[in-house]
Each structure stands twice: as C-alpha cells, then as structure tokens.
Amino acid sequence: MASYLSGYKGRFAPSPTGPLHAGSLVAALASWLDARAHQGLWLVRIEDVDTPRCMPGADRIILQQLAACGLESDETPVYQSQRRALYRQALDQLVAHGLAYPCGCTRSDIADTLAGAGEARARHGELVYPGTCRSGLHGRAARTWRLLTAKYEENTAQVQEIRSQDAIKTGVFNDDVELMWHDRLLGKQGQNVSREVGDFVLKRADGLWAYQLAVVVDDAAQGMTDIVRGQDLADNTARQILLQQALGLPTPRYLHTPLVLGLNGEKLSKQNAAQALDTGDPLAALGQAGRTLGLGDPVSANTPARWLQQAVPLWAARCCSPAH
C-alpha cells in the first residue's frame, strides 16, 4: 500500500466487457502514475452496471492483466453491480428536488418529434432529447428517467456569473452558455449540455442505471479527487459536472489521456475487436503505453515494478507542473 499523504485519490474504472487492450492499459497506467506522482491512492472500480455488455470472468482477467504490469489496487476493487442502492438514492434525491423526471418516449418518438420540428440533432449517434416529457407523461408509462439539464444549468452560480458578465459587456442577456471546465492536459473545455446533449438518461428503459449517474455517484462516494482517463470519455465530463452540481457533490480535477489508434486510424476498443493486451511481456506493454503518453521509455528497468518507479518522475515532469 502506498503512503497516502496528500489526500489524492484516483481510479481506473474498466468495464468488464472483455480483456484489457493496449488503449485501456494507457488509461490504467496514466491514472496509476498520476496517483503515485501525488503520493495518492489508486483504486480499481469494475464498471459492470451495463450487465448485458459484460463478459463473465472478464473482471478477473482484467485484474490479472493489471497485476502482471505491476498495477494493483490499493483497496479491494468495488463492483458497480453491487452499488445499485446508491444510484437509487441519488435518483430519489434528484426527483425530490425537481431535477429529474420520467420520460415515456421511445427512440422513434424522439426521432419523430425532432423531424416534426425540422431538427435532426444527434450526438455520437444519440438523438438530442427535445424535452417532450418535461411537462409530464400525458398518460404514457414512464420508460426512462432524465436529468432536467436546462433548469439546473440556469441555476448554477457559474452560469449566472457568465451571464451577468456577458450582460454587462454586451447589454444582452445570453441564455445560451456553455458549462466550462478545465482539463489538466487539454486545457479549457466547454459544452452546452442542454443544447448539445439534451436532458440525458439517468435510468434506462431496460431498468439499468445509466453510466453517467453511476460514475458520478461512485466517484463521490469513494472520495475521488482526480479523474485520469482516456480522451474518448472527455465528452462526458460536462454532463458529469452538471450531475455533481445537481447532487451537491464536489467536482474532481480531470485529465484526459491521448488515445491509442488502431491501424485503421480508429480508436482501439473492445467493440471494434481490439486485440487483448499481451501481458506475457509486461515491459513491452508498459513501454508501448508509456510512449503513447509521451513519457519515453525507462530503458534500464528490468521488472514492471522498476519500470513504474522510473516512470513516475517522467509523468510528474509532463503532467504535474504548476500549469497542470
């Protein structure tokens, strides 16, 4: 167990849909190095909330692959599938505050509404929800629960501040503002969640808890101070910050790492059948992950533990300067 001097707590949170691939090792390594560079704790959380996508036994394979590379959780890994009561509590809290509402729309209802309004807004294949059920279900049965993004966004102190500054500068009250956040590598980021994503789902039509809610609840419940993860997840950050604010939870610091691209130029993922990480040669696997992170290769290391030890100052020099 590492010394826990700084209060820093970070995590690697794989979905057990298959073994780790080269891209997931990059995210695991970055989060581990950042925790060690801050004398912090590093935890593994198994994100198995989307049960139909999970592969039986993949959690154990992932933990073995990490261990082969010298990456071991400082606390017993937690499983999201065992934490549903926490997600229920969070949804109940949002509903009690009028920040979440039931939605009776099917995907084709949403498509029809958007088409009727002459809009075909989609984001990564997901239609931007037009807010149909904000005013009630109108006799339909609830299928999903959604966050009332606009109402909450309007009420955040940050948004009020941006608006009042804009109003002073331009004399115009701007109601189209982005939620801004800082990424330690990518810098200033922003997203208008209600316009670009819409009121997003917290509980799915199949009864499963949505990724966004589970992650936000778990990060807070586990006291995470820093989120270090792959850049493919950066797009979720504004939604997660909105949810944190709606639930009265602290916002951690964020850093999104570069992605490993396959030969076809697409990101590696289990969905596009990326090869499982070969941990028969952990030094080679760590070396490749380190190069993706721009660390160079600690060449004199002959064990994963030594490699990791030597990589910590390289990471610190790259990602832990005062600017980050």
CB of 136 to Zn ion, least distance (A): 10
Closest C-alpha to 9, from 56, 43, 49: 43
Long-range contacts of 161-166 (CB under 8 A, 24+ apart): none
Q: Which residue, 78 or 99, has its beta carbon nearer to Zn ion?
A: 99
CB of 137 to Zn ion, least distance (A): 8
In whole angstroms, how large is the CA radius of gyration of the chain? 21
Q: Which residue, 60 or 107, has its beta carbon nearer to Zn ion?
A: 107
CB of 135 to Zn ion, least distance (A): 10
Q: Which residue, 116 or 322, has its beta carbon nearer to Zn ion?
A: 116
Q: Which residue, 146 or 239, has its beta carbon nearer to Zn ion?
A: 146
CA distance 26 to 37: 16
Q: How many CA atoms lie within 13 A of 62 on its CB side?
A: 27
CB of 125 to Zn ion, least distance (A): 18
Q: Which residue, 83 or 146, has its beta carbon nearer to Zn ion?
A: 146
CB of 214 to Zn ion, least distance (A): 21
Whole-angstrom CA distances from 181 to 48, 107, 109, 254 are: 28, 30, 33, 9
Instruction: Return the C-alpha torsion angle 12, 18, 24, 25, nearest 10.
Output: 90
Which residue in the block uniquely carries the two structure tokens 């037009």?
130
Binding residues for Zn ion, rule: CB under 5 A, are: 103, 105, 132-133
CB of 128 to Zn ion, least distance (A): 12
Provide φ and ψ at 222, rounded to 5°.
-90, 0
Residues 45, 80 contacting (CB under 8 angstroms): yes
Q: Which residue, 66 or 105, has its beta carbon nearer to Zn ion?
A: 105
